[in-house]
Structure 1
Amino acid sequence: MLYVRTEIILESPAAGQEQSSARWPGARLPPLYSQYHEYELRLPQHHWHASSHEAEPKFFFVPGHSRGSGWGNIMQEVLLNAYLAYKTDRAFVFYNYTWNDNPSEDYADYAGKPIPSRIPLTALIRGPIVGAPFPPSEHAPPAIAEQYWHTVCDDRTTSIDREGVHKEIGSWMVEPITRAWVGKLAAIDDQCVAVSDGASIYDWLTFGDRHALHEAWTDFAASPIVTHFGWSPLVELAFDNNREVISPTTVFEPPLSTIPYTSNAERYTELKGLLVLHLRRGDYEAHCNHLAKWSSSFLAFNGLPQLEQFDPPEGGTWGENTPENYAIYRKHCFPNTEEIVARVREVQQSEAAHGLDKVYIMTNGAVQWVEELKTALTHAGGFKHVASSRDLVLNWEQKYVAQAMDMLVGQRAQVFIGNGWSSLTGGIVVMRTANRFHSDTTRFF
């Protein structure tokens, strides 16, 4: 999901970015994040002027990574691709968050509005995934940027046919896929290895199966890809600037962006008293009907066995379902205001919800609907403070990565209620579970 908001913007655009385009007359064009691209290219593991690159580590690249999707979809694949590279002792080749690959088109169209065609990952996240050092106990090679890969490897790449590997696996579960690729790459000594163009390793079948991560979970969660995952300074600054909007404090807390980075769990601690709700709106209603049509279960990242689950109701057949079942799916996937309030009241009865007095609503819903929901929650839940994504004040660069800041908030909530079919919820759930938040604090509508 991409959130494009309409808040007051604090910063002036960079030179040239205030210009509109004939394609979007009158629209202010988004930032292009050039300083983040430049930072990535200056990483110390990039030996641009070396006479030979043979002494460098082995690399692994997935050119067919997902494009043109919301950040939640991209993030889940980035995490698994980086995890696989780590397991093979190869440097992960990280890439942009991409809507449009055409280098001549800096902007893409999203619902009639311009968005950046490519956002560097370092504008969204930090950690070993994007080239930061691994913890001292690890000896894995640091990740490299795609542009460096092309400079070093374009004329000597060994490509592996994805289908040739997967036809022997017989499963779309994460563990057998990872194990097969680790074995395949262990047998290849070439420095520059990529998956054949246009193919991803972990696809929609993997991410759509609630059991897909079960066997791999313990190792995945303990890997530095997760334990040393972090949100970018840009995202953390957005959180700091909106801290009192999101979850007002009663005592001084140092801004997150001033604290030296350590680990995921130590940095993103619980925000006591805060309930976070993730509510997809807009065209998601049609998506929920599609999920009901195919009797879909929760996504893999939301399907960890220690969490509550949704069992598709009986009565549906392949590609068809009953009116009663469509109504059940809608209640969980696209709940109305009354159903949201009822679910909040239900969760408030749990021991994990003791002391909740603030609510933050992650949503792309229309402002009027959000305000009505805030009023309903205030009256029904006894909350002192209710805010939403629509209340944030963001600068021009933060506006286009705001979904990542919402994920940071959800990750730190005392209690989080998400959408089990949403990959954005899934990223939050994985980080909460990996950071050992009690399972009763992570719920679904």
Structure 2
Amino acid sequence: MSAWLRRLVATGHQRSEEDYELLPSNSAGSPASAFNKNRRRSARSLLYACLHLFTVRRIAVALVSIPLLMVVGVLWSGVPPSYEDIRLFERNLPQHNVSAAVVNARTGNEPKYLRFPGHLWGHGLNNILQEILLMSQLAYLSNRSYVFEDYVWSKLPFPYTIYDFALRPTRMPINAFISGPSAGGPMSGPQAVSSEFWDSVCPKEKRRIITTEGAPPSKGTDGSVLMDWWVQRLAKVEDSCVEIEQDSLTDPIFDKYLFGGKEILSLWPGLSASPILTDFMWSPLVHSAIFRNFPILQPYSAKVLYDSSTSGVLPGLVAVHLRRGDFKRHCARLAGWNSEYMGLNQFPSLPDKFDPTPYINTTREDEKTEYYFEHCLPTTEQIVERLRKVREDHPSLSRVYLLTNGWGWWLNGLKDALREDGWADATSSLDIQLDAAQSYVGMAVDMAIAEKAEVFVGNGFSSLSSNVVMLRMAKGLEPASNRFL
């Protein structure tokens, strides 16, 4: 056995200077002393090299260059459009006639307005859209003009902010996303007006502010009871310019508990018959993206893309909403909260139910988490299996469109798996071609496609899926055409 091997296997052996006897020595001293001198010399050499490399000048250049490179990186994604053409469209709506409003006020025919200055902002489109629809419904039932606002992502005093290392508009006109009564479109009742017009006809001294004092709490209150209370409250007010003082971020009159629970279902009979939903439309900008991507959607006739009736569906297409990203964390929270599907995803007529009851108040935490993730953040294999079952129930389906914020590499693997499972084609949000203006309304484009699909498979915990189901139900599509993961 060699000396090296004996040293490695010897019991209780402690290192000594002899352990380094094979190291080369450049001095007459001991090997350990030579080693230490070499190590100190190497450290000094490294220090001198660093001082030579990181001179004051080079450090200064780096400090200036890094921010410049970051700015270039942000600008590389492009400067967002201003949407001034859409703002001009809003200003020119026929009801935005200040002179006529002044004349009406003098003759005692002054219109009545309802504004919610504390509206939701800084959230995704679908949380804000939910609120817009109920607020405009309240204005409609109160025989008042709803005052619509910009979609506000940030309240910075600049036109753009930075999000995901790219510029993003701080605010956008709501008509970039939607049309119809909630955005100033024609309706059988007082037409909605913009906040800009409101400021012209309702100076501060004319505004009547109503607080939420005495209002029933949104949590646990039946939706119809809550809506009726506010209608009766507003019926007692004769003032033309009325604001409801509420903060949608901290104390909203329509909160997440209403949208997330069955209490909202009692509003459906009135809401589904209201022009707020029956005349709802996506914006011309959104429709332009749909028309641009007709080769991907493969309609049997271009007329289908223009048709908003029940016959205007894309036959053979199943649209699937796959929320990824932050949902990995969110789905775990949903399991911890014992959450159910969003309120409008709990229509009794919908075929797919979610029941976490067997896993509540038990020690089966792993099984509960697995159950939630299967429906909230399913794996590729689970998605393929789920769509296979949906196809068995709807044999006419042959193509898949994936509404998703998932990564491209993951989507490619999923699309390959779907094709291997017999689907003729699989496309996704990443395949849609959008110009600069359309790209910031891409989520609405996805939703418009899902609304037109023959079958929609949603994520029951998502407000996007909830809104798509609502629009499909209002359109008169069969409840059985709305499925969940």
**TM-based fold match above 0.5:** yes
Tell me by how many angstroms 1:391 deviates: 0.5
Residue 390 (structure 2) aligns with: 347
Q: 1:222 aligns with which of 256, 273, 292?
A: 273
Residue 150 (structure 2) aligns with: 96
Residue 221 (structure 2) aligns with: 172
Mapped partners of 1:282, 1:150: distance in 2:
40
Normalized per residue, the structure richer in helix is: 2
Mapped partners of 1:269, 1:160: distance in 2:
43
Tell me by how many angstroms 1:171 deviates: 4.0
Q: 1:309 aligns with which of 353, 359, 363?
A: 353
Aligned CA-pair RMSD:
2.2
Other structure's SS at 1:397 match: helix
Tell me by how many angstroms 1:34 deviates: 1.3
Matched, 1:147 2:199: no
Q: How does 1:59-98 map to 2 (within 5 A)?
A: 59-98=113-152
Mapped partners of 2:399, 2:75: distance in 1:
41
User: Structure 1, residues 415-441: CA drift from partner, whole Å, max 9, x if none?
Assistant: 110001111111110011112211111
Mapped partners of 1:163, 1:334: distance in 2:
40
Matched, 1:375 2:416: yes
User: Structure 1, residues 88-140: CA drift from partner, whole Å, max 9, x if none?
Assistant: 110011111111134x2212333333211111111111111111111xxx3x1
Matched, 1:364 2:367: no
Change (3 A) 1:141 1:21: farther
Mapped partners of 1:306, 1:107: distance in 2:
44
Residue 336 (structure 1) aligns with: 379
Matched, 1:420 2:460: yes
Residue 205 (structure 1) aligns with: 257
User: Structure 1, residues 311-347: CA drift from partner, whole Å, max 9, x if none?
Assistant: 22434459x9812211111110000100000100111
Matched, 1:115 2:158: no
Residue 398 (structure 1) aligns with: 438
Mapped partners of 2:92, 2:71: distance in 1:
31
Question: Identity of aligned pairs, percent?
Answer: 36
Change (3 A) 1:144 1:322: same
Larger Rg: 2
Tell me by how many angstroms 1:162 deviates: 1.6
User: Structure 1, residues 35-63: CA drift from partner, whole Å, max 9, x if none?
Assistant: 11121111111122454562331001111
Q: Amino acid of the residue matched to residue 231 of structure 1?
A: W
Tell me by how many angstroms 1:384 deviates: 1.6
Mean Cα deviation higher: 280-289 or 25-34: 25-34
Mapped partners of 2:391, 2:256: distance in 1:
34
Mapped partners of 2:462, 2:162: distance in 1:
22
Mapped partners of 2:84, 2:373: distance in 1:
42
Residue 265 (structure 1) aligns with: 309
Other structure's SS at 1:166 match: coil
Residue 29 (structure 2) aligns with: none
Matched, 1:237 2:237: no
For the 8 Å contact 1:237–1:256, the answer to whether it is kept is no
Tell me by how many angstroms 1:170 deviates: 7.8
Mapped partners of 1:232, 1:367: distance in 2:
28
Change (3 A) 1:170 1:292: closer
Mapped partners of 2:348, 2:234: distance in 1:
30
> What TM-score does the superposition give when structure 1 sets the normalisation length?
0.86
Mapped partners of 1:88, 1:325: distance in 2:
45
Tell me by how many angstroms 1:198 deviates: 2.2
Mapped partners of 1:256, 1:439: distance in 2:
21
> What TM-score does the superposition give when structure 2 sets the normalisation length?
0.80
Change (3 A) 1:315 1:275: closer
Residue 242 (structure 2) aligns with: 193
User: Structure 1, residues 187-225: CA drift from partner, whole Å, max 9, x if none?
Assistant: 10011111115243211111111x122211111101111
User: Structure 1, residues 253-276: CA drift from partner, whole Å, max 9, x if none?
Assistant: 23745x7xxxx536x722111111
Other structure's SS at 2:263 match: coil
For the 8 Å contact 1:292–1:321, the answer to whether it is kept is no
Change (3 A) 1:26 1:88: same
Other structure's SS at 1:369 match: helix
Other structure's SS at 2:242 match: strand
Residue 182 (structure 1) aligns with: 231
Mapped partners of 1:197, 1:432: distance in 2:
31
Q: Amino acid of the residue matched to residue 254 of structure 1?
A: K
Mapped partners of 2:144, 2:397: distance in 1:
45
Other structure's SS at 1:349 match: helix
Matched, 1:438 2:482: no
Change (3 A) 1:157 1:278: same
Other structure's SS at 1:108 match: strand
For the 8 Å contact 2:219–2:257, the answer to whether it is kept is no
For the 8 Å contact 2:246–2:253, the answer to whether it is kept is no
Other structure's SS at 2:441 match: helix
Change (3 A) 1:21 1:228: farther
How many residues were matched structurally? 407
For the 8 Å contact 2:75–2:166, the answer to whether it is kept is no
Gaps of 5+ in 1: 1-19
For the 8 Å contact 2:398–2:423, the answer to whether it is kept is yes
Q: Amino acid of the residue matched to residue 416 of structure 1?
A: F
Mapped partners of 1:64, 1:379: distance in 2:
50
Other structure's SS at 2:436 match: coil
